[in-house]
Structure 1
Amino acid sequence: MSNSLLKNFDLHKCILSAIGLTTAVMQPIHAAQKPNVIVIYTDDLGYGDVGCYGAEGYETPHLDQMAKEGMRFTDFSTSSSICTPSRAGLLTGRYAKRWGHNGKVYFPDSKDGMPPSEITIAEMLKPQGYQTALVGKWHLGHQPQYLPTAQGFDYYFGIPYSNDMWQAPEIPLAKNVIFNDGLTRDDYLDPKQATAKFRNRVPLMQRTEVIEWPVDQTQLTRRYTEEALAFIRENENGPFFLYFAHAMPHIPLYASEPFKGSSERGLFGDVIQEIDWSVGQILSFLNERGLAENTLVVFTSDNGPWLQKKTEAGSADPLRNGKFSDYEGGCRVPCIAWQPGFIPTNQVCNVNTSTLDILPTIASLSGAELPKNRVLDGLDITPVLKGDFGNAPKRDYQLYRSKNAIRVGDWKYLKTKNKIELYNLASDTSEQQNLADNYPEKVSSLAKKLAEVNAKMRRSQ
């Protein structure tokens, strides 16, 4: 690591020390019997965007160390290649299609959201005595009945949707709200031409109110990290569940001053290095407070890179395509799991796994009851986390964003406007060899399976 980057890390550590969020090494406390859980969810981070996955032009020493001390997944996917249904799948263990979601994202002028009847990880854990918080991006509806505080989260601090959007005047303003950039209350309450006038100027919320608009996005990663550390510190006697959802590297990209110009890759690399620093702060704090062995930490992304943004986008290499796509680059993402003493060190897992698996796995580890009267699409991958890959549960199928693609085992079927495609992902991860003409029976069976699955994806399930 360069001397300049080390200075940047030291400067950030000083900032947090000044507000009392980092501490000297302390005697371990008695950990809660039930495991704490932290899910760190990045936005538009591609499969090839972390050092231990082959990234170049910037450094991710903390994530690389996390992988050495834990498990790195090579076949881990989200439930969709776009963020709203992806986040719903993570939190509920179900494809968003099951409650009728159309595969699109919510905007500041959207009136709907994930149905309150859906049961999130946070709601599942509350009866087990967990304190729950979301720090970061939500994007499952910003109307009061759809907010995180209505879905099991005791505390919320973050932006309600993507960081390239604008204000939603119906979200109430806090009494002491801060207005930046010379904007006023009247600007916030005026929805006219909002996308043209205020794009990239998003509100910062605390619980159910806007406390700042527009938020200074250069400070988001730092402020999120401070808030996450504060929550952990307040609940270190546990158990707790922290969903830490970064705003970036979704565009527009912003990095705080200590990280600007710190990488060879430009602003994108600077952003990733600051996210890596944030992960390091979380893991260091867990170690310092004696919480590491009782805290499962999962780092991953909501979908692949937004390749159309070119230099502002990451990479899915060696996978094909990126965000929005049914190809592997759209939803196969980096994933690292860490819990010293529980997850074996320096493990590489090639088992087909998914964000859908996080809810049932947490249920198993915590003793929580699975949501009743719900068809779950996720699997309990506790054996996988223990390194027992031979006893990994078998996935019946994997769906993609559209209704035209399915994976069963190593075989993947796609139907586009112009052709039928069939790939064997075991031998062709990059999806370059279309085998549809070679295996017509396989094409037929997968097409039939896809039709059957689509027919069952109903709101009532």
Structure 2
Amino acid sequence: MPSHAHDPINQNSSSISPLTRRAFGTAVGATAAAATIGPPAAAAQPAPPRSVEERPFRAARGRHARRPNILFILGDDLGWADLSSYGSPDIRTPHLDRLGRQGVRFTDAYSGSATCSPTRFSLYTGRYPGRTKGGLAEPIADRSVGLEPTHPTLASLLRGSGYATALIGKWHCGFLPDYSPTRSGWDEFFGNFGGALEYYSKLGGNGEYDLFEGDAEYKDLRYYTRILTERAGEYVRRDHDRPWLLNLNFTTPHWPWIADGDREASAEIVRRIKAGDRGALWHADGGSLEKYKEMVEDLDRSVGEVLKALKRSGQEQDTLVFFASDNGGERFSYNWPLSGNKGSLKEGGIRVPALLRWPARIDGHQVSDLPVFSPDWTATLLELGGARPDPAYPLDGTSLAGYLLRGEEPGERDLFWRVRGERALRRGEWKYYRGRGGADQLFRLTRDPREQADRSSAEPELLAGLRASWERTDAGLLPYPTGS
């Protein structure tokens, strides 16, 4: 194992929980300490085969680099198999597929929750959403709660270690005047505060305009994805004098189902919003598989434009780029072979595509089936950026720095989720799940990713152990408000 004594990235290595790849079929183990950092069933298809250019994950060794710039990109409601590299039969995503080939494609990555704002809480804080009042909203829909400015975040901690920080796109962690990215550690903010907006008019479901620069309205009635792509390109091309974090949060392919050029559909949605139809943005009477394909492929092109700007800036080698979805897919997503979708703790609601590239430190053409989730990325990026978590707010994620860079074996841990009416916990290949029907179920995901063969009767002791672990973690979280 090479020495890392003079590697600035490893200045906090003593705090790492060892992690490395194990085959998907082996157990990852017991709970980590909180302080560590499709088609119809009849047409069943296997998971996408591994490309001949992809190989099992192995850590990079013997390389040294400065602290990375961090470009963290989120799609919105993108399904696990909506990218070509994850098995989509119709959608073509060459830029995202290339990003995965140039680094690591994760097959078993999860969001921190099943809807938008709780996942963002888990990413920004590195903690379970249920540790904060704002994280209990699933999702945030009014001005009553948000991410408290006093809570340390990925941005505030990295800024404290010398990073420039910016958030472009969807915030969805509270509204003005009390909550804003600029109050939670981001030097700059350009984007929308709410969970959804009409792509041209920038009207939210309540009829209010929702495009801001900092805390001031910014008028631009062009297609929203174009605006965000342009802004992100401008940011990465700057002459930065220090490492930077850019959270680039697209709203694509979240409803309403409006692609670039769909002026007529836009006008109809705007008319309904102005007439007081609070469900207009949900667009229950719109969209199609073809329209969804158009939106996802537009997202792919947009990411490609930002990555091209990054390359032309000369910063590509020293920039860690991460792409994922904020939760599972929605109405038109392709999740095969997973069951469930957004809002559910079944696999289709929380398993997401995830791609990571850092040319200076991590080899390309790799696939990892290590189970990971949103809070892990917070812990990982803090360590890589030389930032220490606030001990008053211990992280629930585990840093993957040792896994990615030094081949360290993974520590034993569980992945935990809770939403109203559902609970889930993954330990290695096993998943404990209780849905709204109230029955405990147990699935062996390596053999049954579709969660159809309930093994609870065959493995009662394992089920009891996983249930007890879930309940221990739940006991330390805030309760949902009475009647919610």
Q: TM-score range by the shorter chain?
A: 0.7 to 0.9
CA distance in 2, matches of 1:59, 1:392: 34
Q: Which residue of 2 aligns with 1:97?
A: 130
Q: Are the counterparts in 1 of residues 114 and 419 from structure 2 also a CA contact under 8 Å?
A: yes
Runs of 4+ in 1 over 4 A off after TM superposition: none
Q: Which has the higher contact order (CA 8 A, sep 6+)?
A: 2
Cα distance change on mapping 1:335 and 1:387 into 2, 3 Å: farther
Q: Which residue of 1 aligns with 2:227?
A: 223
CA distance in 2, matches of 1:242, 1:124: 14
Give the deviation of 1:326 after TM superposition. 1.1
Give the deviation of 1:362 after TM superposition. 1.1
Q: Are the counterparts in 2 of residues 111 and 143 from structure 1 also a CA contact under 8 Å?
A: no
Structure 2 counterpart SS, 1:386: helix
Q: Which residue of 2 aligns with 1:209?
A: 216
CA distance in 1, matches of 2:335, 2:406: 26
Q: Which residue of 2 aligns with 1:301?
A: 325
1:389-400 to 2 correspondences below 5 Å: 391-400=409-418
CA distance in 2, matches of 1:53, 1:365: 27
CA distance in 2, matches of 1:398, 1:293: 34
Residue 106 of structure 1, aligned match among 140, 143, 164: 140
| 1:412-460 CA-partner distances (Å, limit 9, x unpaired) | 112232522111112211111001111111222222222211111149x
Residue 134 of structure 1, aligned match among 160, 164, 167: 167
Q: Are the counterparts in 1 of residues 198 and 256 from structure 2 also a CA contact under 8 Å?
A: no
Give the deviation of 1:338 after TM superposition. 0.8
Structure with the larger helix share: 1
1:403-422 to 2 correspondences below 5 Å: 404-416=423-435, 417-422=437-442
Cα distance change on mapping 1:387 and 1:53 into 2, 3 Å: farther
CA distance in 2, matches of 1:48, 1:396: 24
Q: Does 1:428 align with 2:448?
A: yes
CA distance in 1, matches of 2:209, 2:431: 39
Q: Which residue of 2 aligns with 1:279?
A: 303
Q: Which residue of 2 aligns with 1:71?
A: 104
CA distance in 2, matches of 1:233, 1:418: 52
Give TM-score, length-normalised by structure 1: 0.79
CA distance in 1, matches of 2:453, 2:365: 32
Structure 1 counterpart SS, 2:178: helix
- The amino acid that maps onto 1:301 is S
Cα distance change on mapping 1:374 and 1:165 into 2, 3 Å: farther
Cα distance change on mapping 1:398 and 1:162 into 2, 3 Å: same
CA distance in 1, matches of 2:369, 2:162: 34
CA distance in 2, matches of 1:410, 1:438: 15
CA distance in 2, matches of 1:132, 1:298: 16
Q: Does 1:44 align with 2:77?
A: yes
Q: Which residue of 1 aligns with 2:196?
A: 163
Structure 2 counterpart SS, 1:356: helix
Cα distance change on mapping 1:419 and 1:123 into 2, 3 Å: same
| 1:201-258 CA-partner distances (Å, limit 9, x unpaired) | 752111001223xx64x61111101101111122444311000000121100232249
1:216-295 to 2 correspondences below 5 Å: 216=221, 219-257=223-261, 265-295=289-319
Structure 2 counterpart SS, 1:300: strand
Q: Tell me how large the CA RMSD over aligned residues is.
A: 2.7
Residue 439 of structure 1, aligned match among 459, 463, 468: 459
Q: Are the counterparts in 2 of residues 236 and 291 from structure 1 also a CA contact under 8 Å?
A: no
Give the deviation of 1:32 after TM superposition. 9.2
Cα distance change on mapping 1:282 and 1:366 into 2, 3 Å: same
Residue 117 of structure 1, aligned match among 139, 144, 150: 150
- The amino acid that maps onto 2:85 is C
- The amino acid that maps onto 1:332 is R
Structure 2 counterpart SS, 1:391: coil
CA distance in 2, matches of 1:391, 1:67: 23
CA distance in 2, matches of 1:36, 1:145: 29
1:259-408 to 2 correspondences below 5 Å: 265-307=289-331, 313-386=332-405, 388=407, 391-402=409-420, 404-408=423-427
- The amino acid that maps onto 2:401 is T
| 1:50-109 CA-partner distances (Å, limit 9, x unpaired) | 1100112231111111111111000100110001100010111101101233242122x4
Cα distance change on mapping 1:33 and 1:427 into 2, 3 Å: same
Structure 2 counterpart SS, 1:203: coil
Give the deviation of 1:34 after TM superposition. 2.2
CA distance in 2, matches of 1:265, 1:234: 38
CA distance in 1, matches of 2:423, 2:359: 41
Q: Are the counterparts in 2 of residues 398 and 408 from structure 1 also a CA contact under 8 Å?
A: no
Give TM-score, length-normalised by structure 2: 0.75
- The amino acid that maps onto 1:228 is A
- The amino acid that maps onto 1:292 is E
Give the deviation of 1:279 after TM superposition. 1.3
Q: Does 1:81 align with 2:114?
A: yes
Give the % identical residues. Answer: 32
Q: Which residue of 1 aligns with 2:268?
A: none
Cα distance change on mapping 1:36 and 1:319 into 2, 3 Å: same
- The amino acid that maps onto 1:338 is R
- The amino acid that maps onto 2:366 is Q
Q: Are the counterparts in 1 of residues 75 and 326 from structure 2 also a CA contact under 8 Å?
A: yes
Give the deviation of 1:387 after TM superposition. 7.8
Q: Are the counterparts in 2 of residues 41 and 300 from structure 1 also a CA contact under 8 Å?
A: yes
Paired positions, count: 390
Task: Give structure 1 stretches of 5+ with no counterpart.
Answer: 1-30, 167-179, 189-193, 308-312
Q: Which residue of 1 aligns with 2:272?
A: none
Give the deviation of 1:370 after TM superposition. 1.6
Cα distance change on mapping 1:424 and 1:99 into 2, 3 Å: same
Q: Are the counterparts in 1 of residues 403 and 410 from structure 2 also a CA contact under 8 Å?
A: yes
Task: Give structure 2 stretches of 5+ with no counterpart.
Answer: 1-63, 265-287, 480-484
